[in-house]
Amino acid sequence: MIEAVNLKKEFRVNEPGEGTFGALKALFSTRKRIIRAVDGVSFAIKRGEFVGYVGENGAGKSTTIKILTGILVPSSGSARVNGIIPYEDRRRNAANIGVVFGQRTQLWWDLPVRESFEMLKAIYRIKPDDFAHMMKKLSSVLDLGPMMIIPVRKLSLGQRMKCDLAASLLHRPGVLFLDEPTIGLDVLAKENIRTFLGEINATEGTTIILTTHDMNDIERLCGRLIMLDRGRVIYDGLTNELKQRFAREKLFEVEFRVRPPSLADVPELEVVEERGSKLSLRFRDGAGGDLAAVIGKLAAKYDVKDVSVREPSVESIVRSIYEKTLSLPPYRADG
């Protein structure tokens, strides 16, 4: 459905001059610096997959999305979406895809929402029946009713995002590209949008690529995770597999009847957090040993009331990878 083969995108930027008016000098500078925003990215995504595309600021996520939606032409490599080369056939590609850039609306700023939707109906040549069907469905799940007569520029961020999502789906695209659709939203609005996206993926079979900095989005929605670091893929696999790979990062919640002054007898574990008689513990870096054995040891040495084991969150794993306290084995795309 979506295929990227050794995609690269370089930007040439003027080297900034030094000192006062440095930025101004840059305008006339002949010295160029090359930024490799996307540096050999390959992946293949099947119909109906829900893929999280993550990485730190500047990793190259938006640049990839822009190539796949036909906004940017890659410097080398190739991409196909539903058999179409997006940057060569942008119009035909647009008929099959929906796009939301959370940072920027795709709607007409001064038009009421309803009229924006009518414009899209005309642009995509959506049949009246199909349009009515989708409008009904989208309005009910996204609760668009109260927004329909309001000009886009007057919508709140969360309202605007809902309208942008609806707009991207009116023509029932097979593929949906979402670049930070939950940015800036409150907890409840995020949750509503997640539920909605899950439903669209399940009921319409829409293939979704989601870029986000919110790992709860990933945890809730994305079976698969592709992680970028400075333009390169460093992980591509099941979200659960990433969790299992770092199962050693598992956190234990231990409640003591009598809180010991230290855990010197179980040096494998370190304290992450303390809350009265409850401690959050995890394996110390480099410590071996298996879960059952270490819990047995803990219970033998101290007066333990209760132990529970928590899966590490995707959030904590990803943060650790960014902070380089966890490292992934070198990634090689097969094939």
Of 221 and 226, which CB lies nearer to ligand ATP in the complex structure?
226
Range 106-145 burial, b when 16+ CB lie within 10 A, else e: ebbeeebbebbbeebbeebebeeeebeebbebbbebbebe
Binding residue for ligand ATP (CB under 6 A) from 2, 7, 37, 279?
Answer: 37
Q: Does 63 bind ligand ATP (CB under 6 A)?
A: yes
Of 55 and 98, which CB lies nearer to Mg ion in the complex structure?
55
Strand ordering across the sheet containing 224-229? 97-101, 175-179, 207-211, 50-54, 224-229, 232-238
Cβ 329 to ligand ATP shortest distance, Å: 23
Binding residue for ligand ATP (CB under 6 A) from 1, 11, 139, 198?
Answer: 11
Which of 170, 171, 167, 3 shows the shortest CA–CA distance to 82?
3
Of 2 and 144, which CB lies nearer to Mg ion in the complex structure?
2
| Number of neighbouring beta carbons within 10 Å of residue 47 | 12
Of 213 and 297, which CB lies nearer to Mg ion in the complex structure?
213
Write out the H or E segment, with its range, that includes residue 95.
Answer: helix 90-96
Q: Does 60 bind ligand ATP (CB under 6 A)?
A: yes
Binding-site string for Mg ion from residue 35 to residue 64, where x marks contact by CB under 5 A and - marks none: --------------------------xx--
CA atoms within 13 A on the CB side of 283: 21
Q: Under a CB-based contact definition with an 8 Å cutoff, are residues 297 and 289 in contact?
A: no
* d(C-alpha 100, C-alpha 97), whole Å: 10
Q: Under a CB-based contact definition with an 8 Å cutoff, are residues 208 and 197 in contact?
A: yes
Q: Does 58 bind ligand ATP (CB under 6 A)?
A: yes
- Indicate the Cα dihedral angle 80, 68, 205, 50, nearest 10°: 110
Structure token digits, residue 79: 């991409």
Q: Does 182 bind ligand ATP (CB under 6 A)?
A: no
Instruction: Identify what 35 binds: ligand ATP, Mg ion, none; CB under 5 to 8 Å per kind.
Output: ligand ATP
Of 54 and 134, which CB lies nearer to ligand ATP in the complex structure?
54
Cβ 137 to ligand ATP shortest distance, Å: 30
Cβ 317 to Mg ion shortest distance, Å: 21
- The DSSP secondary-structure symbol of 59 reads S
Which region among 55-63, 94-102, 164-172, 260-268 touches ligand ATP (by CB under 6 A)?
55-63
Instruction: Identify what 218 binds: ligand ATP, Mg ion, none; CB under 5 to 8 Å per kind.
Output: none
Cβ 61 to ligand ATP shortest distance, Å: 3
Q: Does 33 bind ligand ATP (CB under 6 A)?
A: no
Count of residues that interact with ligand ATP, criterion CB under 6 A: 12
Write out the H or E segment, with its range, that includes residue 203.
Answer: helix 187-204
Binding residue for ligand ATP (CB under 6 A) from 41, 45, 59, 263?
Answer: 59
Question: Regarding beta strands 304-310 and 76-81, do their DSSP bridges make them parallel or antiparallel, or are they unpaired?
Answer: unpaired
Q: Under a CB-based contact definition with an 8 Å cutoff, are residues 204 and 165 in contact?
A: no
Cβ 73 to ligand ATP shortest distance, Å: 12
Q: Give how far the C-alpha of residue 74 lies from the chain's centroid of Cα atoms, to the nearest Å.
A: 22
Q: Does 62 bind ligand ATP (CB under 6 A)?
A: yes
Closest residue by beta carbon to Mg ion: 62
Instruction: Identify what 58 binds: ligand ATP, Mg ion, none; CB under 5 to 8 Å per kind.
Output: ligand ATP
Q: Does 61 bind ligand ATP (CB under 6 A)?
A: yes
- Given the rule CB under 5 A, which residues bind Mg ion? 61-62
Residue numbers of the site for ligand ATP (CB under 6 A)? 11, 13, 35, 37, 55, 57-63
